[in-house]
Amino acid sequence: DAGITQSPRHKVTETGTPVTLRCHQTENHRYMYWYRQDPGHGLRLIHYSYGVKDTDKGEVSDGYSVSRSKTEDFLLTLESATSSQTSVYFCAISVGTGGPDTQYFGPGTRLTVL
């Protein structure tokens, strides 16, 4: 357990509505990530952050935005949810003694867009 929580754990929403998922960590780690998991695709990186207000895009960033105003919180926003964004979303941190060399994951959020 790396002290990572995600909220909500489950959400059902309708197409076109905005959705924000929250990732919270308790140990002030610098690197945080958002992934989505879909059958046959493994985990795909949406966005990641390497510090407060420092973020970068991953391979599937279209339709998603992120914000990190505090070290402990990393927010993922779907501005206008679509059915293709139905997925399980994982937050992760990256830690290591010589650098961020190992990832640990939150429990995941199952999002359904109707």
Binding residues (CB under 8 A) for another protein: these are 31, 33, 35, 40-45, 48, 50, 56, 58, 88, 90, 92, 94, 99-105, 107-108
C-beta of 93: minimal distance to another protein in Å? 11
User: How many Å is the maximal CA-CA distance in the chain?
Assistant: 44
Question: Which lies closer to another protein via its Cβ, residue 47 or residue 75?
Answer: 47
List the structure tokens of 87.
């997925």
C-beta of 16: minimal distance to another protein in Å? 27
**H/E/C letters for each residue in 50-91?**
EECCEEEECCCCCCEEEEEEECCEEEEEECCCCHHHCEEEEE
Question: Which lies closer to another protein via its Cβ, residue 11 or residue 44?
Answer: 44
